[in-house]
């Protein structure tokens, strides 16, 4: 292949003095390279490549160590479900906590649309008044609540998917796989929301009261139970189910379907691709699924915020829903949709990326992708 660019030596030979008295002898030090910025860029690329290779080697070593300590993890065994539960815990806990500033503004604008004119204005006002701590209001109950919810949601989904597949049989499980995804995710989310609800109640109240009604997660739990009993922690459970169950059904079913479609367009089978490609597919599928999730569950999300902030003591659930809807109307159910689409799309893609990366780290297959059809029995 012809050389398109001259070498450093050729550049020095051409542009440096050719006079015999000024020409460098072989023993003399070489002049400063021409176009040193170009050399610096190439050097930086070389160092970055070396660091990347070193990081990959360290990751492989850590993965091998973790797998050796855990021992062989058989699919659908107790160890398998435990690994999926822990993967869901870190995926949901870390991501929801990271987007607390988005959630803070969303909740405040849902409860009082006139409080801020826009999201950036809101962050600016909160930051000037309360600093970074104010922007992160509610991070504690968010972290604890979504760690618990993520553990039950992802671990439960893996369990119920296998459970319902066995009940349906191999052929029906493949034929009605979308219904299977919907049923398994709804079952898992039903349980996960019971774990989430108390922390969600504290989070919403902390984010929608100025100054926050509590100084921290457990202080907030104590204040609510002292005034309203345990029922106060669960008064938003029905709308939380109404928000989270459709959201999770869409999240898992659309993710599985989208990932299967992506692999269907790719030239190789899923198992032929490495860690990087599979994680990228999970991230892309997660973002697309997150957009659909946000739209489907947004009206219920608004109602959860309103109920936790404005429901009167002793007020019946139906009466509270009717009163709130009368105040805000149909349009009010869509307050904060744009920011929630961005938040949920980012959340969902990161969650699937983290969850499937953890599964790869533990030597387990990633979620989604085309399952082989059941073997057909020949007609005799």
Chain segment 284-329, per-residue pLDDT in tens: 999 999 898 888 888 888 887 777 777 777 777 778 888 888 888 8
- Mean pLDDT of the chain, nearest integer: 83
Instruction: List b or e across 168-178, with b for residues whose CB sees 16 or more CB atoms inside 10 angstroms.
Output: beeeebeeebe
pLDDT tens, residue by residue, 32-88: 555 555 556 566 666 666 666 766 777 777 888 888 888 889 999 999 999 999 999
Whether residue 123 has pLDDT greater than 80: yes
Among residues 263, 283, 295, the alpha carbon closest in space to that of 372 is found at 263
Give the Cβ contact number of residue 41 at 10 Å.
11
pTM of the complete model beyond 0.95? no
pLDDT band of residue 208 (cuts 50, 70, 90) is: confident
Q: What percent of the residues of the chain are helix, what percent strand, and what percent coil, each to the nearest 5?
A: 75, 0, 25
């Amino acid at each position: 292949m012809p050389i398109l660019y001259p070498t450093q030596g050729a550049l020095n030979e051409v542009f440096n003095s050719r006079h015999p008295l000024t020409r460098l002898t072989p023993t003399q030090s070489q002049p400063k390279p021409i176009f040193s910025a170009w050399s610096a860029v190439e050097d930086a690329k070389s160092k970055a490549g070396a660091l990347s290779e070193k990081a990959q080697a360290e990751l492989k070593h850590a993965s091998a160590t973790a797998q050796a300590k855990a021992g062989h993890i058989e699919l659908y065994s107790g160890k398998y479900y435990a690994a999926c539960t822990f993967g869901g815990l870190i995926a949901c806990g870390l991501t929801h906590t990271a987007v607390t500033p988005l959630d803070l503004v969303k909740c405040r604008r849902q409860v009082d649309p006139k409080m801020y004119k826009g999201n950036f204005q809101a962050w600016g006002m909160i930051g000037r008044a309360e600093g970074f701590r104010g922007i992160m209001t509610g991070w504690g109950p968010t972290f604890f609540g979504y760690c618990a919810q993520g553990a039950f949601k992802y671990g439960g989904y893996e369990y119920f998917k296998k459970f319902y597949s066995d009940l349906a049989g191999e052929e029906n499980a493949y034929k009605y796989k979308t219904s299977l995804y919907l049923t398994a995710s709804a079952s898992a989310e039903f349980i996960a929301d019971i774990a989430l609800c108390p922390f969600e109640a504290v989070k919403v109240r902390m984010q929608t009261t100025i100054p926050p009604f509590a100084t921290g997660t457990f202080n907030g739990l104590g204040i609510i139970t002292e005034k309203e009993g345990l029922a106060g922690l669960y008064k938003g459970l029905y709308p939380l189910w109404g928000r989270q169950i459709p959201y999770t059904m869409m999240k898992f079913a659309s993710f599985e379907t989208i990932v299967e479609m992506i692999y269907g367009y790719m030239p190789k089978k899923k198992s032929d691709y490495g860690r990087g490609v599979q994680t990228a597919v999970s991230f892309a599928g997660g973002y697309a699924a997150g957009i659909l999730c946000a739209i489907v569950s947004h009206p219920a999300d608004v109602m959860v915020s309103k109920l936790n902030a404005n429901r009167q003591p002793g007020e019946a659930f139906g009466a509270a829903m009717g009163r709130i809807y009368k105040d805000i109307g149909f349009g009010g159910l869509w307050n904060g949709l744009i920011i929630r689409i961005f938040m949920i799309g980012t959340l969902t893609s990161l969650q699937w990326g983290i969850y499937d990366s953890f599964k790869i780290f533990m030597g387990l297959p990633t979620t989604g992708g085309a399952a082989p059809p059941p073997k057909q029995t020949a007609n005799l």
